[in-house]
Structure 1
């Protein structure tokens, strides 16, 4: 009986299993996908109606949300696409969270959270 298959088959099987379980490395120089990127195949919030909010710190922001994502435009023109966060509590509001900015909306009120700044309370007319 030939013992070659007994010596070759186990290492080949291990190599095939390892190859099937491994992920290809990202090409050098590419950054991971940002959290604010919209989910493919879903409606973008660009189609949602924008609402202007006046904040207690003097800022004015525009928020357009479609339930899955909010497009937030700050007074200085910077725009942020924030994915909707699932909340453990069912408070009735919508939370949209990004790396440097987050918004909690409930009715005509919104709270704007910016890194390094106090929370701004905002209302729409």
Structure 2
């Protein structure tokens, strides 16, 4: 017993609408994720911007309670640093790594009393 042509066309249209909605939802999720991390820098890039060594900045962030070593040996932002808006985690928990937010970089500039390097010069 074959379906009438109208039902077939309706099923195809319904599937295409579903696909379009799923695609739009994925695109929106990707946009939100990009915005969430806009302006954030890795510790390495932030160290370069501040004119200090990567190791020195990791040590400073650890000493000041911004980062801790996780069970896998990776640096992980502390809850305090995240709650203050200074750092964010990016990636799955098993491999997450901290990124400094613009607010975190401003706080470091204030604490260190330095001017960030301007790479555009």
Q: TM bucket by the smaller chain? A: 0.3 to 0.5
More relative contact order, 1 or 2 (CA 8 Å, 6+ apart): 2
Higher helix proportion (structure 1 or 2): 2
Normalized against structure 2, the TM-score is what? 0.33
Report the structure number with the largest CA radius of gyration. Answer: 1
Normalized against structure 1, the TM-score is what? 0.32
